[in-house]
């Protein structure tokens, strides 16, 4: 870090400068600075979701571009991910404390071969905030983990996350196994992750592809309302 950067006092920056500085700090993997920045923005009455999307998610998008272009490498991106997680840790209780009525239960995990978990964690946080019980299976989940958990937890929704083009086809393995066991229609299956799209979601037999955490929440709510309606009708 240069002397010039050492001298920056985050609290003295205006909102726009601070968010810009947080993008730089995330890029540099500066966990303490990210936590400080998050706290400053919250202290300025920023909504937790706005801090999350504008300061953290946008910062990680920039990291992703330079990772793709070979300017950043795995160790640096890991540091950025750590800083992002530290910031998300501060926001988590705030996003979860909306007092929303209970909605249903979701089991979620990143698929086998894939260790990306920031997006999944974000979906979990937002779902909890919207009143869902969330059972998070973590990363690198084989089909057995999902099947065992949805049954054990009596879940309504199965959520799967994949960030790699090489791991996203595994979602179909899970859905096909659910079909083979005759349990596919007992659950709402939602999928997400940067390389996916709507066509892919349809092609593998998911109920819906969710572009981001907010869409995941809205989609889950819609399906739960539909399930409730069907139960009452039948
Ligand atoms: Co990885 N990585 N990475 N990486 N990494 C990507 C995904 C990549 C696109 C980077 C790039 O080249 N631009 C690229 C994939 C290319 C491809 O497949 N076509 C890539 C690669 C290649 C790799 C490695 C293979 C690198 C290597 O080792 N040579 C390796 C793979 C390891 C493995 O999994 N087996 C690897 C490793 C890593 C790190 C460990 C360094 C780190 C992960 C740390 C962690 O997660 N704990 C990392 C990171 C951080 C990234 C990028 C930079 C950022 C991902 C992220 O956290 N985004 C990523 C670049 C990118 O995506 N642009 C990249 C922020 C997050 C909020 O967004 O995860 O998309 P996202 O989640 C969103 C939505 O997608 C959606 O909602 C979320 C919130 O809005 N969503 C869901 C996600 N899951 C959902 C589930 C749902 C619903 C919505 O269920 C209902």
Q: Ligand 1 pocket check: which of 62, 116, 127, 204 to mutate, most ligand atoms within 8 Å of Cβ?
A: 116
pLDDT on residue 3: 46
Q: 179 alpha carbon to ligand 1 midpoint, in Å?
A: 28
**Mean pLDDT of all residues belonging to the chain:** 94
Residue 177, pLDDT above cutoff 80? yes
Residue 233, pLDDT above cutoff 90? no
Q: 117 alpha carbon to ligand 1 midpoint, in Å?
A: 8
The residue nearest atom 87 of ligand 1, judged by CA position, is: 192
Pocket flag, ligand 1, residue 165 (CB < 6 Å): yes
Pocket flag, ligand 1, residue 163 (CB < 6 Å): yes
The residue nearest atom 52 of ligand 1, judged by CA position, is: 64
pLDDT on residue 2: 46
Residue 194, pLDDT above cutoff 90? yes
Please write the tens of the pLDDT for every residue from 133-162. 999 999 999 999 999 999 999 999 999 999
Q: Which residues pair with 141 in a beta bridge?
A: 111
The model's pTM: 0.94
Rounded (10°) CA dihedral 225, 226, 228, 229 = 120
pLDDT on residue 232: 82
Residue 229, pLDDT above cutoff 90? no
Please write the tens of the pLDDT for every residue from 41-73. 999 999 999 999 999 999 999 999 999 999 999
Residue 5, pLDDT above cutoff 60? no
* CA-to-CA dists, residue 227 to 37, 156, 187, 201, angstroms: 41, 9, 10, 20
* Average pLDDT for 182-206: 98
* CA-to-CA dists, residue 88 to 30, 56, 82, 109, angstroms: 14, 8, 10, 18
Pocket flag, ligand 1, residue 106 (CB < 6 Å): no
Percent of the chain with pLDDT over 90: 86
Reference 103, options 136, 134, 124, 131; nearest CA is 131
The residue nearest atom 66 of ligand 1, judged by CA position, is: 119
Measured distance between the N- and C-terminal CA atoms of the chain, rounded to whole angstroms: 64
- 218 pLDDT band, cuts 50/70/90, is very high
Q: Ligand 1 pocket check: which of 31, 80, 119, 161 to mutate, most ligand atoms within 8 Å of Cβ?
A: 119
Pocket flag, ligand 1, residue 214 (CB < 6 Å): no
Residue 215, pLDDT above cutoff 50? yes
Pocket flag, ligand 1, residue 192 (CB < 6 Å): yes
Pocket flag, ligand 1, residue 183 (CB < 6 Å): no
Lowest mean pLDDT among 2-11, 27-36, 114-123, 146-155: 2-11
Pocket flag, ligand 1, residue 138 (CB < 6 Å): no
Pocket flag, ligand 1, residue 87 (CB < 6 Å): no
Pocket flag, ligand 1, residue 77 (CB < 6 Å): yes
191: phi then psi, degrees, rounded to nearest 5 = -125, 155
* Average pLDDT for 122-142: 94
Residue 126, pLDDT above cutoff 70? yes
The tokens describing 136, both together, are 């998070």
- 102 pLDDT band, cuts 50/70/90, is confident
């Amino acid at each position: 870090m240069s002397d010039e950067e050492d001298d920056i006092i985050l609290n003295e920056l205006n909102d726009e400068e601070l968010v810009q500085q947080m993008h730089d700090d995330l890029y540099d993997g500066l966990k303490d600075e990210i936590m400080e920045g998050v706290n400053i923005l919250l202290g300025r009455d920023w909504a937790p979701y706005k801090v999350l999307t504008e300061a953290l998610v946008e910062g990680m998008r920039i990291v992703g571009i330079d990772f793709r272009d070979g300017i950043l490498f795995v160790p640096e991106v890991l540091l950025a991910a750590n800083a992002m997680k530290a910031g998300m840790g501060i926001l988590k209780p705030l996003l979860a404390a909306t007092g929303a009525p209970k909605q249903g239960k979701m089991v979620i995990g990143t698929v086998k071969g894939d260790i990306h978990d920031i997006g999944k964690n974000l979906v979990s946080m937002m779902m909890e905030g919207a009143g869902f019980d969330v059972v998070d299976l973590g990363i690198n989940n084989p089909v057995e983990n999902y099947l065992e958990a949805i049954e054990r937890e009596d879940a309504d929704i199965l959520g799967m996350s994949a960030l790699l083009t090489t791991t996203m086809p595994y979602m179909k393995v899970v859905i096909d196994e659910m079909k083979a066991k005759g349990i596919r229609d007992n659950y709402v299956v939602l999928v997400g992750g940067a390389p996916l799209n709507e066509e892919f979601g349809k092609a593998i037999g998911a109920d819906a592809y969710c572009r981001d955490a907010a869409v995941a929440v809205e989609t889950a709510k819609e399906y739960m309302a539909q399930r409730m309606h069907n139960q009452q009708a039948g």
